[in-house]
Every structure is written in structure tokens, then in C-alpha cells.
Amino acid sequence: MLCSTRLRFSTRLLAYRRNLSTACMDDVLFEVKNDVGIITLNRPKALNSLNTSMVLKIKPKLKEYESLVRMVIMQGAGGKAFCAGGDVKSITENGVGAKSFEIGTNFFHNEYSMDSMIGKYKVPYVSLIDGITMGGGVGISVHGKYRVATEKTLFAMPETAIGLFCDVGGSHVLSRMDKHLGVLLGLTGCRLKGSDVVKAGIATHYVHSSKIDGLRAKLIEDVRDPGIVLAENTDDMDGVEFSMAPLMEKIDSIFSHERVEDIVEALRTDGSEWAQGVLKSLSEVSPTGLKITRKEISKGKNLSLDECIKMEHRLAVRCIEAKYSTDFYEGVRALLIDKDKNPKWCPASLEEVKDEIIDKYFEPLSNDQELQLS
């Protein structure tokens, strides 16, 4: 009986490991059709969140495709998400310590270098951002030449809610948005939907989700420049109004302040229902994350994409090592692990987050830790 039980357990364990290995093998799918490289993020149950396994498969394939195909299409499986972000749970689940530091620095090093590669890609790179596109999903799309949104697209950079900062080149993208809209999006994690993603400059084209399969087929079949194909097969957005247009002057006035405390005071002075809602959002996220994000966006405006990514890598390393704050670990715990949505930020207020500590996050790392980008 004992031997039989052991046999059944061993069989189940072997099957589990085989299934786990297969799932890992299939978390990204690669295909070439008519000289077009097609990359499909294939973790639909996890909303196609990026993990180290996926990044380590995508990077060499992107390098291979750059000299092999005439265009790359990046897409997500499952119909709900393009990519909902990076799999940060895997970084923090072991708590603060050497193991988390090793896992985290390895992930961010590879993810950020992949985003840099996309920003310099030599052949047209088309992202079909049909569905949730947040965090790491922004990094793997927005730096490419073409991004196609649909009515199902949901964009956000919600990193301050997990005690982090807007990374994956976010300091480059957000700093270049009109009228300090990027500062609002970066600090609050405010979501943009559908056509607003185009109007904000995140997407370059828009089409209804029912036409996305047909658009993909045309891009593959038509050997003309993909810019021409996209122009002929997507919607004209000239007559579509940005839903936040009535607020843009107010956003520009309030979020032009360099200090987060001054932004908060300006919102209190405004006193509108909109301002009260923004204040509530800011009160729920990491004070340290807010100050890092405001400073990185300010600095990012005068930096190249690679310079922004190198800066963000320094910030990520400092957040993982948790020398000055454990907010990253606490934020992931509260939002994604225990899901109690009740993080205990430390420091707990903006006033307690000293500028000299924030400055330390931006200091260069040792030579062996600095991110090297080709």
C-alpha cells in the first residue's frame, strides 16, 4: 500500500512538473509569416504579465528578427489584455533579502534592456494593444514605432500604488506629454481608455477590436510600408475629442509644480470634485513613490530614452534593496499578495520623505551594477 501511494504521488509530481515546464515553454509564442515576425504574449490567465522567462525568450528573438524579417508584430493572447505589467509578485514573495534582490535585479536588468532594444529597433515594430496595457506592457509597446489601440485598451502606469515608480522608460514617455498630463498619470495611476490612449500619444492608431484580426492579416499580407497599411485600415481620429480636454489647463497649472507637496496644496486650493478625487488617489499611494516619480519625470524631460532607462534601473535597484524604504515590498503585499489593499507606507507622509533621501535613489550604482545598454 505504501509503495502504491508513493508511486501515485511520484506520478502526480512528474505530471505537475511536466505541465509547469510546458506552461513555461509556451508563455511566449513566436511565428514568422510572409517575412513578418509575430510575438504573442501567452499568459492570458495572468493577463500576459511579463516574467523573467518571457523576457529571456523575447530578447534574443527580437535580435534575430531584426535582421530576418521586414516587420515585427507584438500582441497578447486571450482577448482581455495586451500585457498588464511585470510579474512583481515573484520578486517580493521571499521578502526583503538577498534572494529577492537577485531575482529583482535580474528581472529589471533584462526587462529594461529589452525596452531599450525596442526603442532602437531597426525594422517597423507594431504593437496591437487591444486590452489592458499597464506597466511592463507599456514598456514593451510604447517605444516601438506603431501602437494600435481599440475601445478595449486600458492604459495606466499604476506603480506608485505598489510603492514603486513609473519605470520601463516611463520617465521618457510621461515627461513628453502635453501640459503635464504625464505627471498626473504617473503620480495617480489614472487610467486612459480607448481613443483617449491615442489622444494622449500612447497609441499611434485606433481601430475597433472587431477589426483587429483583419488589420493583423493586412499587415502580414501587404508588403508595403506598415505606416501606409495602418493609415488605410484604421480610424481617422481628427474629429474625436480627448475626454480630458476640458481639464487640461487645470492639469497643466497644478501638475507643473516640481514638489509633490505643492501639487497637493494646489489641488486643495482648487477644491473641485475632480481635485478631491485626485487628492484621494494621491493619499492612497506611496509617498516615497510619489516623490521619486515626480523627480524622475522632471529629469527625464532632458534625457534620451536610454538615459531614462539607466536612471530607472538605479531607482529599481534601490527600491529592491529597501535601504531607505520597504514600500515596494509592502505595496505588492497589500495589492497583489494578501490583497487587503491596506498598505502601511514607511515613511507614511510626504513631509516625512526627505529630499536628501530621494536624491540617494538617483545616485550612480557601482560599476558592476550599472545597466549597460548597447
Q: φ, ψ for residue 159 (rounded to 5)?
A: -65, -30
Helix, strand, coil shares of the chain as percentages rounded to 5?
55, 10, 35
Do 278 and 267 form a contact (C-beta atoms < 8 A)?
A: yes
Place of cell 499597464: 134
Cis check for the bond before 158: say yes or no (omega within 30 of 0): no
Determine the Cα angle at 10 with ends 4 and 14, to 5°.
Answer: 145
Q: Cα dist. 260→77, 191, 290 in Å?
A: 38, 20, 7
Closest CA to 183 of 254, 266, 102: 254
H-helix or E-strand spanning residue 129 = strand 125-129
Residue 230, C-alpha cell as written in the block: 495602418
List 136, 137, 163, 289, catalytic entry: 136
Taking the CA atoms of residue 28, residue 29, residue 30 and residue 33 in that order, the dihedral angle to the nearest 10 degrees is -150
What angle do the packed helices 181-188 and 273-284 form, to 10 degrees?
50
| 136 annotated active-site | yes
Do 50 and 85 form a contact (C-beta atoms < 8 A)?
A: yes
Which amino acid, residue 370? Answer: E
Q: Is 303 left (phi over 0), alpha (psi -120 to 50) or beta?
A: beta
List 27, 111, 115, 167, catalytic entry: 167
| 277 annotated active-site | no
| 167 annotated active-site | yes
Do 37 and 69 form a contact (C-beta atoms < 8 A)?
A: yes
H helix intervals, 37-135: 52-66, 89-92, 98-119
List 159, 306, 327, 330, catalytic entry: 159
Residues 6+ apart with CB under 8 A from 316: 104, 105, 108, 112, 164, 167
Residue 139, C-alpha cell as written in the block: 514598456
Active site (catalytic) residues: 86, 136, 159, 167
